[in-house]
């Protein structure tokens, strides 16, 4: 893993250097074998100094590269760091992740993504950071996003959807994450409506959808996904240990982040296309199946009001349907849910 120097005032993009990309590709084609400096220089039309600088850059990004004056360079290890070239390598998605902006540290990937969206970035643009200094959850709640231990990223979408489809976009992020986590690591992730990601009864992360709309029509939306991957239990502050978890804890060992990210982007891609074509019903069905609170008696706090009742289902927009003791069914768009029994 690369080291994480003091927080930059202005986010610094990383990866994305074409020379380093080309050298990384060349070395990765002969893993654990030396590639001579002369071959690299000739093949890529580079000076000795350009090669040296780019290799230095790769090492700072976490690549294990051995250099020998006689034999050349040898790739011993690629980092498990969400660098654009590593994310793109084998990514089977065209729209989601079609453009990638990666940073060591940003305040919040959602903020960066919203700014890029205002500037007209393409549908599906991915913004990812190794660490967030101002990660946010719903209602501006702080979200701890330390370097190297999680996946903190945002996807800009420009769907032809009414703003009432926002919950479907949150589900898009949650369902894609759950599917990738289950398929790659056999771990059943659940959704705590409206936007929390849970493993074994403890919070692993969450999804935060933010959007800009004209009248009721979404102009652009940002789906922010953040979850703990390899944060060891010992690293948790005591007050979080009982309520928070990481994928590593459930999977029984460290989890490579880049393949997991790629899989999430791919799962988003297929569902995003379907959502645009056929509406949110299928996504809401998938989310419902991940939501163990259906049938439970809950207390929901929302906009200063408290309601209690039985969760009887979800409506086609993903709103929760709550039946009160009096028997009336109310439709709730968001809220903090406590399961009573």
**Under the rule (CB under 8 A), what is the footprint of its own copies?**
138-139, 160, 162-164, 166-167, 170, 194-195, 208-217, 219, 303, 333-334
Q: Which is nearer to its own copies, 213 or 282 (CB)?
A: 213
Crossing angle, helix 18-28 and helix 37-44, to 10 degrees? Answer: 130
Q: Which is nearer to its own copies, 59 or 203 (CB)?
A: 203
**Closest CB 98 distance from its own copies, rounded Å:** 22
By DSSP bridging, strand 217-228 and strand 202-214 are antiparallel
By DSSP bridging, strand 126-132 and strand 100-106 are parallel
**Closest CB 322 distance from its own copies, rounded Å:** 15
**Closest CB 277 distance from its own copies, rounded Å:** 13
**Closest CB 135 distance from its own copies, rounded Å:** 14
Q: Which residues of 38-49 are buried (b: 16+ CB within 10 A; e: fewer)?
A: eebeeebebeee
Q: How many Å is the maximal CA-CA distance in the chain?
A: 83
**Closest CB 214 distance from its own copies, rounded Å:** 5
The tally of CA atoms less than 13 A away on the side-chain side of residue 267 is 23
Q: Which is nearer to its own copies, 138 or 307 (CB)?
A: 138
228, 246 Cβ separation under 8 angstroms: yes
Q: Which is nearer to its own copies, 52 or 274 (CB)?
A: 274
Rg from Cα positions in the chain: 22
Q: Which is nearer to its own copies, 139 or 325 (CB)?
A: 139
Q: Which is nearer to its own copies, 67 or 163 (CB)?
A: 163
116, 127 Cβ separation under 8 angstroms: yes
Q: How far is CA 36 from CA 39, 79, 111, 198, 289, in A?
A: 5, 22, 43, 49, 54
Q: Which is nearer to its own copies, 253 or 304 (CB)?
A: 304
102 vs 83: CA distance, rounded Å: 6
Identify the burial level of 90 via C-beta atoms within 10 angstroms of its C-beta, where 0-12 means exposed, 13-18 middle and 19 or more buried. Answer: exposed
**Closest CB 203 distance from its own copies, rounded Å:** 17
**Closest CB 159 distance from its own copies, rounded Å:** 11
250 vs 27: CA distance, rounded Å: 34
């Amino acid at each position: 893993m690369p080291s994480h120097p003091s927080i930059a005032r202005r986010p610094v993009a990383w990866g994305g250097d074409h020379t380093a990309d080309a050298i990384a590709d060349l070395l990765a084609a002969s893993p654990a074998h030396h590639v001579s400096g002369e071959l690299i220089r000739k093949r890529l039309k580079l000076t000795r100094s350009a090669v040296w600088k780019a290799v230095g850059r790769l090492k700072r990004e976490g690549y294990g590269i051995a250099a020998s004056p006689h034999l050349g360079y040898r790739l011993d290890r690629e980092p498990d760091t969400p660098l654009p070239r590593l994310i793109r390598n084998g990514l089977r998605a065209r729209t989601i992740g079609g453009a990638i902006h990666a940073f060591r540290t940003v305040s919040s990937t959602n903020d960066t993504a919203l700014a890029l969206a205002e500037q007209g970035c393409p549908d599906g643009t991915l913004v990812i950071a190794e660490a967030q200094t101002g990660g946010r959850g719903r209602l501006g709640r702080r979200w701890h996003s330390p370097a190297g231990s999680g996946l903190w990223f945002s996807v800009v979408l420009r769907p032809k959807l009414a703003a009432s489809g926002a919950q479907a976009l949150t589900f898009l992020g949650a369902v894609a994450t759950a599917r990738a986590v289950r398929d790659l690591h056999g771990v059943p992730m659940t959704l705590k409506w409206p936007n929390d990601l849970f493993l074994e009864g403890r919070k692993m992360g969450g999804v935060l959808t933010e959007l800009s709309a004209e009248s009721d029509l979404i102009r652009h939306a940002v789906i922010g996904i953040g979850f703990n991957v390899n944060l060891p239990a010992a690293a948790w502050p005591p007050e979080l240990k009982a309520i928070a978890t990481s994928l590593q804890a459930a999977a029984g060992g460290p989890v490579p982040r880049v393949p997991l990210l790629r899989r999430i982007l791919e799962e988003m891609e297929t569902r995003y296309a379907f959502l645009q074509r056929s509406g949110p019903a299928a996504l809401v069905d998938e989310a419902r199946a991940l939501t163990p609170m259906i049938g439970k008696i809950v207390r929901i706090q929302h906009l200063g009001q408290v309601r209690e009742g039985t969760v009887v289902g979800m409506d086609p927009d993903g709103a929760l349907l709550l039946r009160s003791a009096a028997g009336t069914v109310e439709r709730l768009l968001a809220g903090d849910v406590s399961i009573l029994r």
